[in-house]
Amino acid sequence: MPEPRRKPVVGPETRAPIKEAGPERGNRFAMGAHIRILHDQVKVAEIDSELGKRFEVHCDEPPNLGGDDEFPQPLHYVAAAIGF
């Protein structure tokens, strides 16, 4: 018997964790990343957080697309982001 479906953690009624951060207050944000090709299909994205911390995210492609499959494909990150 399959497990019952859980209610979503985030839904249309979900509000920002602090009042000053929600769209109700008219806050907007923009994000960006600096992308570099390391070799073949291997790329690294350098992302700066709002608090000044830098993150690096690597991606690659499978051999049939010219990569070595060293890191997740870019669309894997998109799929994960939807789940986050």
Whether residue 27 has pLDDT greater than 60: no
Which contacts (CB < 8 Å, 24+ apart) does range 42-45 have? 42/67, 42/68, 42/70, 42/71
Dihedral over Cα of 38, 40, 42, 45: its sign = positive
Q: Model-level pTM? A: 0.62
Higher-scoring residue by pLDDT: 12, 51: 51
Tell me the domain boundaries of the chain: 32-83
Helix segments in 2-45, DSSP class H? none
Return the DSSP state at 22: S
pLDDT tens track for 36-71: 999 999 999 999 887 888 999 999 999 999 999 999
